Amino acid sequence: MSSPDFGRRAESYDRIRPVDDSWWELFELLVAEADLRGRRVLDIGCGTGRLCAALAERVGARAWGVDASPEMLSVAAARVPRGVGLRQSRAERLPFTDGWFERAVMWLALHLLERPAALREAARVLGREGRLAVVTFDPAHFERHWLNRFFPSIARIDRRRFPDEAGLRAELAAAGFGAVRSLRLSQRRTLTRAEALERIHGRHISTFDLVSEEELRSGSERAEAELPDRVEQALEWLLVVAEQPGEPPAA
């Protein structure tokens, strides 16, 4: 199975996956739960830089971003404010010294990575009492996705790609993290028919790259014929925050 092509998505990514009220609600929850305000934060899998920009502009964080796609980083470089650092790198081999960051974030990135290696690297670059925040989808998200009606393999593919809470907790412990806590956020939003079709035609989620061309063709034709004027979308988020151990007790 091929890997998703984010270089092809870079130019259209922010148009077909715009920052909206739902995004900002999740951002505020992330900032509060991971204590990102004013911190030195690494955005692992930063894409077009929307989180880096928001961290720097909204909460005074000293933000860095890394991404494997040069095309996505090119878009990010044009949007982030001065002072935000961007590096091309794979998450499994970060170009930073041990303990450099206070916080790290993986926002809809972990399912794209070699998880054990990426989590070990996140732990390595975080200092004592550092925190890693993982923003991902709860498995319930895939059961209710509006795309399932047209592309039935998407739910199966994404259940395999995304970790569930128990699996993620075990992977974080194996990477050396200590205390782990999690919370869920349910959101609802409405897409117009035009917005929904634009997302399908633009293959707005990377899972489309893992669906057969025949299913893409037939599903797109069905969507053109059957989508209503308004499409209700359910978002089921899972936010997991893992902490690095603190200083060892004095002897």
Q: Can you give the pLDDT of all 251 residues of the chain as single tens digits?
A: 457 888 888 899 999 999 999 999 999 999 999 999 999 999 999 999 999 999 999 999 999 999 999 999 999 999 999 999 999 999 999 999 999 999 999 999 999 999 999 999 999 999 999 999 999 999 999 998 999 999 999 999 999 999 999 999 999 999 999 999 999 999 999 999 999 999 999 999 999 999 999 999 999 999 999 999 999 999 999 999 999 986 544 44
- pTM score, two decimals? 0.94
Is 248 domain-assigned?
Answer: no
Residue 243's DSSP bridge partners are 131
pLDDT of residue 3: 74
| Helices 21-34, 50-59: crossing angle, 10 deg rounding | 70
Q: Classify 175 as helix, strand or coil.
A: coil
Assigned token pair, 149: 């009606």
pLDDT of residue 245: 84
Domain extent, residue 189, equals 6-243
Assigned token pair, 233: 């979308």
pLDDT of residue 1: 44
Sign of CA dihedral 11, 228, 140, 241: positive
Is 48 domain-assigned?
Answer: yes
pLDDT of residue 2: 57
Closest among 196, 238, 232 to 111, alpha carbons compared:
238
Length of the chain, in residues: 251
pLDDT of residue 247: 57
Phi, psi for residue 171 in degrees, rounded to 5: -65, -40
Q: 124-152 burial, b for 16+ CB within 10 Å, e for fewer?
A: bbbeeebbbbbbbbbbebbeebebeebbe
Measured CA distances, 82 to 89, 113, 183 (Å): 20, 28, 33
Number of Cβ within a 10 Å radius of residue 94: 21
Is 38 domain-assigned?
Answer: yes
Going by the DSSP 8-state scheme, the letter that residue 50 receives in this structure is: H
* CATH assignment of the domain containing 182: 3.40.50.150
In angstroms, the CA 120 to CA 129 distance is 15
Is 1 domain-assigned?
Answer: no
Is 126 domain-assigned?
Answer: yes
Closest among 140, 243, 121, 128 to 182, alpha carbons compared:
243
pLDDT of residue 144: 87
How many domains are there within the chain? 1
Q: Under a CB-based contact definition with an 8 Å cutoff, are residues 249 and 135 in contact? A: no
Is 249 domain-assigned?
Answer: no
pLDDT of residue 126: 97
